[in-house]
Amino acid sequence: KQEVTQIPAALSVPEGENLVLNCSFTDSAIYNLQWFRQDPGKGLTSLLLIQSSQREQTSGRLNASLDKSSGRSTLYIAASQPGDSATYLCAVWGNTDKLIFGTGTRLQVFP
C-alpha cells in the first residue's frame, strides 16, 4: 500500500529565504507526482506535475525534483515571500488510478 510522507510538517521562515520541502513515498511504481498548494479553508491548486520519466519541473520560483528509485521528491521555493504562506501537499499517481496524498507541510513566511 502506497504511503506518502512529508517533512517537515510545519515551517516558519523570514521573507527571502530559499526553502526545501520534502516528500517521500513507499512504492516507487508511480506514473507521476504532483505538488499542490492549499490556502486555509480552500481547495487545491496544482503547482507542478512531474512525470515518472522526468527528473524535475520548474515554474517561476518553484522547482520540483523527482528521484523515483529512492522514492523522494523535493519542492524548492526560491526567495520566499509572505504570499507563499500556505500548506503544500504532494501526491503520487500509481497503478490505482487515484492520487495518494501526503499530510502536507504548513509554510509560514513572515516579513
Partner 1 sequence: DTGVSQNPRHKITKRGQNVTFRCDPISEHNRLYWYRQTLGQGPEFLTYFQNEAQLEKSRLLSDRFSAERPKGSFSTLEIQRTEQGDSAMYLCASSLNWGLAGGTDTQYFGPGTRLTVL
User: Least distance from C-beta 10 to partner 1, angstroms?
Assistant: 10
Chosen residue from 52, 54, 63, 85 binding partner 1 by CB under 8 A: 52
* Residue type, position 29, single letter: A
Which residues have CB under 8 Å from 46's CB, separation 6+?
34, 35, 36
Locate the DSSP E strands across 1-111: 4-7, 10-14, 19-25, 32-38, 44-51, 56-59, 62-67, 72-77, 86-93, 99-101, 105-110
Contact 102, 89 (CB under 8 A): yes
Q: Is 41 in the site for partner 1 (CB under 8 A)?
A: yes
Q: Is 40 in the site for partner 1 (CB under 8 A)?
A: no
Q: Judged by CB under 8 A, which stretch of 14-22, 29-37, 59-67, 70-78 contacts partner 1? A: 29-37
Give the nearer residue to partner 1 in terms of CB position, either 77 or 90: 90
Q: Is 11 in the site for partner 1 (CB under 8 A)?
A: no
Residue numbers of the site for partner 1 (CB under 8 A)? 4, 31-32, 34, 36, 41-46, 49, 51-52, 89, 91, 93, 97-104
